[in-house]
Structure 1
Amino acid sequence: MCRADVIEILLIDDDAQLGALMGDYLLPQGFRVTASATGEEGVDLALSGRFALVLLDVMLPGIDGIEVLRRVRARSAVAVVMLTARGDDDVERVIGLELGADDYLAKPCFPRELLARLRAVLRRTRDLPAQPMISAGRLRLDKARRTTSWGDQQVALTVTEFNLLELLMHGGDTVSTRDALCLAALGRSRHPYDRSIDVHVSNLRLKLDRATGRNIGIETVRGVGYRLRMEG
């Protein structure tokens, strides 16, 4: 019997066997998996608002996973975890992160690792207590509504970018280390040569530069981490 509070997950992957296995494993854990075998259909489903998270394979028939992510991110901030073949070139993973993927996972993956990654991403988006707005100059972050604005202008951020900005705003002049940001924003420890957090920070920096006219930015402290910088 399905739980009443089941979480809807979209899997975009043409491997029917993988979809069935994921569905069987995740349903008792409180997740219901809907599978889509093509990128075109996957985009429509991802934008439907039905799903809390999208698992997206890079290699798909028709449009590939990178293009699917590009189209989804143009219209939605739904959490996305990319699936890549183990041993694939890191370039694909970096491109996915640059386009707004929240995390990536190599296939074949251990079921417990998959479950842990799903829960880590969803912890950043669900069951968050209502909290007051925090601000830095004209930059405002509404933690209850999960929205960000510069004056009257909304700043569209992904889930991970929002969490990073919140951490940096709370940090003030204090430098936030890469390890601390990775653990708090991605829900996992940072591994050697892992560039994930740097790519997310780079995306956030570009969005802040555009929205604020470079009045607020992110300073890199070489060998340590990042902190929020305000001009004037």
Structure 2
Amino acid sequence: MNTPALVPDNVLIVEDEPKIARLVADYLEGSGFTTHHLDHGDAVLPWLSDRSTHPELILLDLMLPGTDGLTLCREIRQRWPRIAIIMLTARVEEVDRLLGLELAADDYICKPFSPREVVARSRAVLRRSRAADAAEAPVPDTLSLDEEGWRALADGQDLGLTAVEFQLLRVMMHSPGRIFSREQLMDHMYRDHRIVSERTVDSHIKKLRKKIAEVWPEREVIRSVYGVGYKYQPEE
């Protein structure tokens, strides 16, 4: 199932008090946001489930008719973790504040509040959320190694390498442009110095190239040097 895209500067206000919801919406819209409003807890999950796009932020009241805000926060975070959530609450007991944050709400605002504070806190949460998404997003045309997990990632996609294939790629990637003979590569592949044919290296290189080509069909980063060996050369 495709993950619905987040629509920048779109905010869902879940608040059962019409005056508060209208006031917050007016200030957000005056600051360039697009808003949607729901006034019943039971309407939130169906509304999100039926959409091909999602708001970037939800302002979620704690006390709602139907499903309460904490339950909704937990469910939204599990099903749509990229949506930012700010809890709105008139219950200022410390346990509620802690519980709201333990459910992975990004922030909370206590009633009564200034609408300007809601706008400012919304902008701050979205800045943090966008920065986190940018940090997690794979950099295009990047081949990287997760050495602790023994994985190679092309544009963030796991290539599914065997241990020997990972060893081969790691050795060459650590010295881009350096030509490794088959004998040198065998020393890294098999530390027990078992006797293997040079054709074994060729076979592993062929499989490694094939796995890379499944993600990058038009790029060749492992190159043969006739009569010498192989090298990792990501750029011409």
The TM tier, using the shorter chain, reads: 0.5 to 0.7
- What code does the residue aligned with 2:31 have? Q
What displacement does 1:46 show?
3.9
Query: Separation in 2 of the partners of 1:31 and 1:135?
Result: 39
Per-residue displacement from partner, 1:174-208 (whole Å, max 9, x unpaired)?
Answer: xxxxxxxxxxxxxxxxxxxxxxxxxxxxxxxxxxx
CA 1:106–1:139 in structure 2 vs 1: closer, same or farther (change >3 Å)?
farther
TM-score, length-normalised on structure 1?
0.52
1:74 to 2:85 alignment = no
2:24 aligned residue: 22
What displacement does 1:63 show?
1.4
1:83 to 2:88 alignment = yes
1:41 to 2:43 alignment = yes
Q: Are the equivalent residues in 2 in contact too, given 1:46–1:54 (CA < 8 A)?
A: no
2:13 aligned residue: 11
After superposition, residues 33-182 of structure 1 pair within 5 angstroms as: 33-47=35-49, 48=51, 49-77=53-81, 78-85=83-90, 88-126=92-130, 128=134, 132=139, 137-138=148-149
Query: Separation in 2 of the partners of 1:16 and 1:139?
Result: 54
Q: Are the equivalent residues in 1 in contact too, given 2:24–2:118 (CA < 8 A)?
A: no
After superposition, residues 181-220 of structure 1 pair within 5 angstroms as: none
Q: Are the equivalent residues in 1 in contact too, given 2:16–2:40 (CA < 8 A)?
A: yes
Larger Rg: 2
Describe the SS at the equivalent of 1:63: coil
- What code does the residue aligned with 2:22 have? A
Sequence identity of aligned pairs in percent?
38
State the 4+ residue runs in structure 1 displaced beyond 6 angstroms. Answer: none
Cα RMSD for the two superposed structures: 3.3
Query: Separation in 1 of the partners of 2:120 and 2:147?
Result: 33
- What code does the residue aligned with 1:117 have? R
Aligned length: 142
